[in-house]
Amino acid sequence: MKDLLIDHFQETVNDLLIRHKSILDVLSKLNEASARVHRATVKAVTQCGCLKIDAKKPIIPEDATILQLKEIFDTHLKGELCPNCKDTIEKEMGRLLFYLTALCNHLDINLYDVFIKEQKALDTLNIFNFT
C-alpha cells in the first residue's frame, strides 16, 4: 500500500511539473526548497520562540562505545513546534519532497526504490551507518 502512495505521488509530480521542467530548474528549486525548510526551522527559534537551541560541545569519554555515543550526543533542541511553525515547516518539506521527486523522475529513479534501498542499508549497517 505504501508503495502505491509513493508511486502515485511520483506520477502526480510528473504530471504537474510544467514550468520548471528543466533539470537545471529542478536542481535549483530543490536547493531552494531545502533552504526554505532551514529558514522556517530557524524562524521557529528566532521569531516565534517555540523552539530554542541549547548547544555546547559534548564531553566524550575516551572509552565511549558507539552505543554510548547515542546517549552523549544531543539534538540541542528545547521546546516543541507550535501549530503554526509545524504547519509552515511541513509545507516547506512538502515542496522539498516535490522537487526531490521531480529529480527522481528526470533521472528515471523510482522514489519507493530509494526508500527501500536506504532502509536495507540502515538495517544492514545498523548503528555503524554513522548518520
pLDDT (tens, 9 = 90+) of the chain, 131 residues, equals: 668 899 999 999 999 999 889 999 999 999 999 999 999 999 999 999 999 999 999 999 999 988 888 888 989 999 999 999 999 999 999 999 999 999 999 999 999 999 999 999 998 988 776 66
Q: What is the pLDDT of residue 1?
A: 64
Q: What is the pLDDT of residue 125?
A: 82
Counted domains in the chain: 1
Domain span at residue 125 reads: 1-15+23-129
Give the predicted TM-score (pTM) of the model. 0.86
Q: What is the pLDDT of residue 71?
A: 86
Q: What is the pLDDT of residue 76?
A: 94
CATH code of the domain containing 35:
1.10.287
Q: What is the pLDDT of residue 130?
A: 65
Q: What are the DSSP E strand ranges found in 16-126?
A: 51-53, 77-79
Q: What is the pLDDT of residue 35?
A: 98
In the structure, how many helices (H) and strands (E) does the chain have? 5, 2
Whole-angstrom distance, CA of residue 18 vs CA of residue 114:
24
Query: Among all chains, which residue has been given the C-alpha cell 529558514?
Result: 39
